[in-house]
Amino acid sequence: MPRSLRGSRSPGRPAARCRARRRCSGTWPAATERDPHVTDFLSGGFGPFGWAVILATFLLAGFVKGVIGLGLPTVAVGLLATVMAPAHAAALLIVPSFVTNIWQLLAGPGVGALTRRLWPMMAAIAAGTVASAGLIAGATGRGPAGALGLALVAYAATGLAGLSLRVPARAEPWLSPLVGLATGLVTGATGVFVIPAVPYLQALNLGRDDLIQALGLSFTVSTVALAAGLAREGALPLAAGAASLVALAPALLGMAAGQWLRGRVSAQTFRRAFLVGLLLLGAHLAVRLWL
């Protein structure tokens, strides 16, 4: 984590103890000896500038979600990954993502029918995310941010291409679990859960309200599974949960502002601008793999 985002240092568990075990209770798994700044994150020891970055990021991410119905985790993890490890960003995401997506999920009457229809996909998302969470939790160096960048580029490019895909009803029983598993694996590796779930759900020919709720269902399951996976890897300490709770306030404020603006701007124009920005952000992160 850059010096500008670090507050006071707090003592961590000696690195020698961490080498003896795969997980270290209360520390970032197997990373203490490689990441000298991890204890700052775990203790919530962000300086004023660090907190300003976090709160501004979730305000913007909530605003985007309020306007177009998605984008909070994508924007939050993408932006925070420019100043901290994607695993840290994913831990901060848990509470804002869960609350805002539950809000979105329960906004209409179709929850039961959608859950019955999509449960194989949701189960596969959960399994894939928990199984692969060790990738983001234990990775160091430029790889995680680069992988996140590639995922953002793929998502933005798919959206900008404007492809009109349709999934035949006969393919849904076997395709949904495969898409769910792929989404879970991407989530566990990058902390972003839009690929390939969002294009797939858009291809199911759902009504507008049902699509918004289906996205909320998918994102809620992904958030819970990511939290479970990070906790399983010892990568979701109490300090991270407290910081995530603080980030909820700007996320809700931004979401309310975005919903207010939704009827006053062209959602299509805003979405295109969002995707272009996401494409540039993803490219910036992906370039780190080779620099």
pLDDT digits (tens, 9 = 90+) for 156-203: 998 898 877 889 989 999 999 999 999 999 999 888 888 899 999 989
Q: What are the tokens at 49?
A: 């500038």
Tokens of 185: 């694996």
Asked if residue 254 has pLDDT above 60, the reply is yes
Query: Quick check: bond before 196 cis, omega within 30?
Result: yes
Query: Which sign does the torsion angle of CA 11, 17, 23, 24 carry?
Result: negative
Q: How far is CA 290 from CA 31, 85, 160, in A?
A: 22, 17, 25
Q: How far apart are CA 235 and CA 41, in angstroms?
A: 11
Q: How far is CA 138 from CA 9, 39, 182, in A?
A: 21, 15, 20
* Helix, strand, coil content of the chain in percent (nearest 5): 70, 0, 30
Output the CA torsion 62→68→69→72 (10° steps): -30
**Residue listed under structure tokens 């000696």:** 14
Tokens of 39: 């204890």
Average pLDDT over residues 33-49: 51
Percent of the chain with pLDDT over 70: 81
Work out the mean pLDDT of the chain and round it to a whole number. 81
* Of 133 and 287, more confident: 133
The domain segmentation of the chain, as residue ranges, is 3-287
Q: Which residue has the higher pLDDT, 247 or 35?
A: 247
Q: Do 79 and 71 contact (CB within 8 A), yes or no?
A: no
Q: How far apart are CA 172 and CA 178, in angstroms?
A: 10
Contact indicator for 86, 101 with CB cutoff of 8 Å:
no
From 290, 242, 275, select the one nearest 78 (Cα to Cα).
275
pLDDT in tens, 43-97: 455 778 888 999 999 999 999 988 888 889 889 998 998 888 888 899 999 999 9
In contact, 177 and 123? CB cutoff 8 Å:
yes
Provide Rg for the chain, Cα atoms: 18
pTM greater than the 0.75 cutoff: yes
d(CA 77, CA 93): 7
